[in-house]
Amino acid sequence: MKGLIRIGNVPGVAVRAHWSVPLIMLLFAYGLAGRTLPAYAPGLAPVVYAIAGVVGALLLLPSLVVHEAAHALMARKAGIPVRDMTLWALGGMTRMDRPTTARAAFAVAISGPLVSLLLGGAAIRGAAGVHAALGWRVPVAMLGWLGGMNLLHPL
């Protein structure tokens, strides 16, 4: 895939991002700041929505990395060599050798979605906790959006 930038490592596995990742993050930030957050917490200054939109979109990036890292780490645990992980606009891809058994293939395949479901649930619980403890609507909406993104698109 062309247009990749190395953004780090996950224990021995290179993590790269396609040029489309910053673009989709910008679109998510714009949607959060322009529609989602003002609808849930009306009446605040536009700069509040803009900052929260950027923070929310940026928080999605680590959840994508963790999802792909789950695939990579499970593959390595099963003895499958992992080449790298690539993030792009529609998610990510972990390049690895072919699993030797159906059991290993299933474990690698299911690990990412399970982690995404856990992250989504944690974000939703975090939103509920912030709402109950502090009543801050913007972080609640941002965490709720992040949780929903992980729960609705775990694959």
User: What does the pLDDT look like over 42-68, one tens digit per residue?
Assistant: 999 999 999 999 999 999 999 999 999
pLDDT in the model for residue 110 = 96
* φ/ψ (deg, to 5) at 6: -75, 125
Nearest Cα neighbor of 63 from 40, 87, 84 is 87
Active-site residue numbers?
A: 68
Residue 146 in tokens: 């992040």
Residue 90 scores a pLDDT above 80:
no
pLDDT in the model for residue 148 = 93
Q: Which residues, including other chains, have CB under 8 Å from residue 103's CB and lie 6 or more apart? A: none
Nearest Cα neighbor of 113 from 149, 147, 150 is 150
- Work out the average pLDDT over 80-97: 92
Instruction: Render pLDDT for 5-48 as a digit per residue (tens, 0 to 9).
Output: 898 888 889 999 999 999 999 999 999 999 999 999 999 999 99
Instruction: Render pLDDT for 124-141 as a digit per residue (tens, 0 to 9).
Output: 999 999 999 998 999 999
pLDDT in the model for residue 11 = 83
Q: How far apart are alpha carbons 145 and 101 in whole angstroms?
A: 37
